[in-house]
Amino acid sequence: MQTNEYLELETEDAIKRFHSGENFYSQHVFGYHQEDQDGETGFVFRVWAPNAQQIWLVGTFNDWDESLPMEKNEVYGYWEVFTGKPSENDLYKYKVRQADGRVVYKIDPFAIAFEKRPDNAAVIHHVPEKKWKDGLWYGRKKRSNFFQRPINIYEVHASSWKHHEDGTPYSFADLKEELIPYVKKMGYTHIEFMPLMEHPLGASWGYQLIGYFALSSYYGKPEEFQDFVEACHKENIGVFVDWVPGHCCINDDALPKYDGTPQFEYENPDRAANIRWGSVNFDLGKPEVQSFLISSALFWLEMYHIDGIRVDAVSSMLYLDYDDGPWEPNHEGGNRNYEGYYFLQKLNAVVKLAHPEVIMIAEESSSDTQITGLIESGALGFDYKWNMGWMNDVLDFYKMDPAFRKDHFNLITFSFMYMMQENYILPLSHDEVVHGKRSLMHKMWGDRYKQFSQLRNLYTYMIAHPGKKLLFMGSEWGQFLEWKYDEGLEWRDLDDPMNNSMQHFTTSLNALYKEQPALWELEESYDTISIIDADNRNDSVLSFIRKSKKKKDFLIIILNMTPVERQDFPIGVPYQGSYKEIWNTEMQEFGGTWKEHNPDQLTEEVPFKEYPYRIKTVVPALGALILQPDKIKIPRKRPSAK
């Protein structure tokens, strides 16, 4: 059999699997590929557009004319053309005569590179095969259980972290030299990027995509991002990327009505229209769309060695009534979007089968569907869910005048009631510092000193609360201005002693988090926490214990939510002995006024709440303390009678 015949058989099999929803590497058959045909080396271009009347390949190599008509495979509805003309950096599009005869220039859905926006032609670019040097990182990942390891995420918008003096954003070559050392210095375990895929409008922050296989040219070349991830892994930093499979950019030259009919989107116009975000919803029940999207997810995991994906807007894929427009109940009369539900289960099953060590994260705001856990139990199969309820409650509380906090104390204690229902990430993300919501620093009540005090209190509460952590860039030093997607962060803030001290505080807190197994080792179980006092509304002081696998290694967390210093404040403890203060948010080095820690505290044989002993300490106004057992007596278990 000739080589061309083998290629034809492989292509036919791949396209059959694409149509059945089981081709998870569909970029290997669609898009452009260099091939030899009849002794000639050239490119094969393929695109799926079953209802188009005619398609031409047009580009800089043929002056954008109709000299390269594509031929349709009537059985499988794809078009292809073989040509020897294109070369590196040539631009191209597909000129599509749609089902109704309208002629539109369309992007290549499988392109791996585009020209810089606002233009959007695909670019012929061959990424050299990389010899990765991150084997040690992968080995450690496979040997460890990420549920029982610290995860502290620094969320980044790649083009607004820092700008050059001329106002141009950093590329990944630049970020490799500056962002990685910064994240290492700050002590974060992972970087999470807002979407890096090609998008035509910067104001969408990357959440309205056109190129599901393309790194945005705004950020540099694909090989630069590969090098960035490799460099992160060498410094023991993981990399997550946001990804948007629910909806896509509405632009006429992108995916919507690609062949003139609802090809990627739902046929029902009410279901296809995403009114809230001005985009188009994918038909997640269509097998070809499943192949397309899951191929995109695996492409990013394997092409760039990223360590996890955060799936955006999961609720919009789960509920028919999530959007603002009209909707129809499902066949059972409910609001469940079964196509989205089963697609997300399929996505997680495929990813976990191929890459069990990858972390799958859902940004999801409801409580009607089990998001994390085994698919066999009815869950979607994600590893983590953003805890949006915790985030909303906590920020509402910290914005409040302390005089009223005693009446709303449940805002910071309610999460203890449901904290084990899912595997959670506690997010203080980009969504909370834009559109007039104010920065985290600016949300805090009071004058500037009190704002910094409360920000330190809030971050200590987040680190001490069960769940993995996420903080948006700039929040680590208390940037006062809201985030602006088209400008760099306010790095000049760090010339201010208060901002500089805040940054040092966050660095120290991140180090404490990694050093203390009690803050992450047992997070899958209620054994990780014991509440000391969550009912002290009048004083508005919350206290609880975080525990590790070793009985003697635990931490006592005390949070004062008022601007009143609490003298001789009683705290219940489980064991007799002495307790040492290892964390005080009001130390001078952090921007507070305290020069020395509280002295070690000896227990009194006085019961407190459910605890047989108590200690007394001074709790700073708007401050947070963490105490550690120093010399304690743990009773031995008596042997059972035989």
Active site residue 71: no
Compute the mean pLDDT over every residue in the chain, rounded to the nearest whole number.
Answer: 95
pLDDT per residue as tens digits for the range 46-60? 999 999 999 999 999
Q: Report the distance separating Cα 571 and Cα 579, nearest Å.
A: 11
Question: Could you give phi then psi for residue 535, rounded to 5 degrees?
Answer: -115, 10
Residue 214 falls inside a structural domain: no
Please identify which residue in the block is written with the tokens 């997640």. Answer: 284
| Contact call for residues 331 and 346 (beta carbons, < 8 A) | no
pLDDT per residue as tens digits for the range 483-527? 999 999 999 999 999 999 999 999 999 999 999 999 999 998 999
Active site residue 270: no
Q: Report the distance separating Cα 80 and Cα 71, nearest Å.
A: 5
What's the rounded mean pLDDT across residues 260-269? 97
From the list 288, 363, 393, 422, the catalytic residue is 363
Residue 532 falls inside a structural domain: yes
Residue 343 binned pLDDT confidence (cut-offs 50, 70, 90): very high
Furthest-apart CA atoms within the chain: distance in Å? 93
How many domains does the chain contain in total?
Answer: 2
| Contact call for residues 100 and 52 (beta carbons, < 8 A) | no
Q: What is the pLDDT of residue 598?
A: 97
Q: Report the CATH number at residue 82.
A: 2.60.40.10
**CA count, 13 A, side-chain hemisphere, 161:** 24
Residue 244 falls inside a structural domain: no
Residue 67 falls inside a structural domain: yes
Q: Report the CATH number at residue 573.
A: 2.60.40.1180
Q: Report the distance separating Cα 614 and Cα 574, nearest Å.
A: 8
Domain boundary among 81, 106, 123: 123
Enclosing domain of residue 35: 3-123
Residue 553 falls inside a structural domain: yes
Domain boundary among 63, 89, 123: 123
Identify the helix (H) or strand (E) that includes residue 122: strand 122-123
pLDDT per residue as tens digits for the range 533-573? 999 999 999 999 999 999 999 999 999 999 999 999 999 99
* pTM for this model (two decimals): 0.96
Count of other CB atoms within 10 angstroms of residue 1 = 7
Residue type, 338: Y
Identify the helix (H) or strand (E) that includes residue 18: helix 3-19
Please identify which residue in the block is written with the tokens 């990780």. Answer: 528
Q: Report the distance separating Cα 599 and Cα 46, nearest Å.
A: 73
Q: Report which of 82, 22, 85 is spatially closest to residue 46, judged by C-alpha positions.
A: 82
Residue 576 falls inside a structural domain: yes
pLDDT per residue as tens digits for the range 364-408? 988 899 999 999 999 999 999 999 999 999 999 999 999 999 999
Q: Report the distance separating Cα 81 and Cα 6, nearest Å.
A: 18
Domain boundary among 68, 95, 123: 123
Residues 6 or more apart whose CB falls under 8 angstroms from that of 113 comprise: 122, 123, 124, 125, 214, 215, 217, 221, 222
Classify residue 609 by burial, with Cβ atoms within 10 Å: 0-12, 13-18, 19+. middle
From the list 192, 312, 393, 521, the catalytic residue is 312
Residue 57 falls inside a structural domain: yes
